[in-house]
Amino acid sequence: MKTIPVTAAVIKNNGKILIAKRKSSLCGNPGWEFPGGKVEYGETCETCLAREIYEEFGVEIEVGDFIIESEYKTNNKIIRLMAFDAKILSGIVTPSEHEEIAFVTPEELLNYNLLPADVPIAREIVSRTAN
């Protein structure tokens, strides 16, 4: 089974976290996610995240600490999702590949229909906030 390395940014702004709703046309499973994307050959996770967020939202970010890794098995592959803290350095969040975005409190995260690989990340964020 092939493992696909994917990154996710937990972008915080004024105590809220950016999540984005995928367009149905882009994938078979529309839903909310922490933005990010597939790591390309020769890229670090941090470089991938900065590139993906700039391509998809037009903002420059600073990638911070690693948060958690999540794995999700689909038909013939494993999605290995690695989440990192991030903050916006410049630009205005303007989605190009998502139909909707939201800045939500950590407590609100689990009220959204998150993609399966993103749920453990949300739970970890909620857990860290509660402690």
Question: What tens digit of pLDDT does each residue of 34-76 get?
Answer: 999 999 999 999 999 999 999 999 999 999 999 999 999 988 8
Question: What tens digit of pLDDT does each residue of 99-127 get?
Answer: 999 999 999 999 999 999 999 999 999 99
DSSP for the chain reads: -EEEEEEEEEEEETTEEEEEEEPGGG-SS--EE--EEEPPTT--HHHHHHHHHHHHHS-EEEEEEEEEEEEEEETTEEEEEEEEEEEEEES----SSEEEEEEE-GGGGGGS-B-GGGHHHHHHHHHHHH-
- Between 25 and 45, residue with greater pLDDT: 45
pLDDT bucket at 22, cuts 50 / 70 / 90: confident
Q: What is the pLDDT of residue 131?
A: 65
Task: Output the pTM of the full model.
Answer: 0.91
- Domains of the chain by start residue, with CATH: 2-130 (3.90.79.10)
